[in-house]
Amino acid sequence: MSQRTLVLFKPDAVRRGLIGEILGRIESKADWAVKALELRTLDRSTLEQHYAEHVGKPFYAPLVEFMESGPSVVLVVEGERVIEGVRALAGPTDPIAAAPGSIRGDFGTIVRENLIHASDSEESAERELKIFFPDFS
Ligand code: IDP
Ligand code: MG
């Protein structure tokens, strides 16, 4: 089942020079393809839409501030079960709980700066792709 997902390499990943490392793991999966890719500093209005489900949570304001703090890489990745697949490559939200071998498990320590975002369902992917790539079809 071919799908598309919205992926962000967060500002910590870009600052630390991990774009190539993380992109390589995604590119290495058979039958997945990068369909769009851009280095982009995310503005507040984009982030408010993207993280709407987290408004009011204690981590929301520092999360948005962190996500604005430097450029991210924004990508569209397409392929077989790619929504579940990129989440599996990323590992769980808390990098200390994430298994070694996962992106968060290999490179992360604190929860906020966990390197990567990936859509968590077909509904989220559709919603997020429209936010970041409104003209992409
Ligand atoms: P996800 O990125 O694994 O889907 P979400 O629960 O959707 O995780 O949270 C969105 C982002 O908010 C996380 O990736 C992380 O950067 C940040 N975050 C989530 N929970 C916490 C927390 O308890 N403390 C600090 N930051 C958090
Ligand atoms: Mg999430």
pLDDT band of residue 136 (cuts 50, 70, 90) is confident
Nearest CA to ligand 1 atom 8: 93
Report residue 94 CA to chain centroid gap.
14
Q: Is the pLDDT of residue 89 over 80?
A: yes
CA 14 → CA 33, 40, 71, 92, distances in Å? 21, 11, 7, 20
Contacts of 73 (CB under 8 A, 6+ apart): 8, 9, 13, 14, 19, 23, 37, 38, 39, 40
Q: Is the pLDDT of residue 137 over 90?
A: no
Task: Say yes or no: CB of residue 114 within 6 Å of ligand 1.
Answer: yes
Whether ligand 1 lies within 6 angstroms of the CB of 104 is answered as: no
Residue found under tokens 């962190």: 66
Arithmetic mean of pLDDT, 52-61:
98
Atom of ligand 1 nearest to the CA of 92: 3
The pLDDT of residue 35 is 98
| Nearest by Cα to 85 from 20, 137, 33 | 33
Contact indicator for 40, 6 with CB cutoff of 8 Å: no
**Single-letter residue type at 56:** G
53 pLDDT band, cuts 50/70/90, is very high
pLDDT at res. 48: 98
Choose the residue to mutate in 51, 83, 112 for probing ligand 1, maximizing ligand atoms within 8 Å of C-beta. Answer: 112
